[in-house]
Amino acid sequence: TRFLILFLLSIVSLIIFVLDNPLYYYLGSPFSGLLFGFYYLMVFSVFYVPFSLIAFIKSLLHLTRFQTNYSILLAINSFFATLLAFLNLLFLQGALEFLPNSSMYLIFILLAASGIAQTIIGRKENEKIKIIWLSQEKTM
């Protein structure tokens, strides 16, 4: 199971966050963060929910076939990412008024890190599964 789309979404989001950092607004730059805000609302938050759900479902299906340490980590990480994605949507809709505005950046960083970790762990798991399959072919 490859999570390349989730990885690319996270990388592009981090690049936009670095180039147009909303935190520069507090340093006196009045228009900083507008591109990132638009991207975060219209692209990242919208696409991250279905991608994280697909990653979670794929991880669960993979876990039922191959029960390795990496597959368990994939399932836990994708579950965490899915919960964060829904928390992010609730935050953006204003349903979670008790959270400060700066928590949006924390949720974003955690989502991006989760997407990158999912790709790295998924790649390691693919390598491990290939080794298992090759060893099974040799024994047959």
Alpha-carbon gap, residue 88 to 92, rounded angstroms = 6
pTM of the model: 0.78
- Report which DSSP code applies to 41: I
Looking at residue 109, what is its pLDDT? 85
Which pLDDT band, with edges at 50, 70 and 90, does 60 fall under? very high
Q: What pLDDT is recorded for position 2?
A: 52
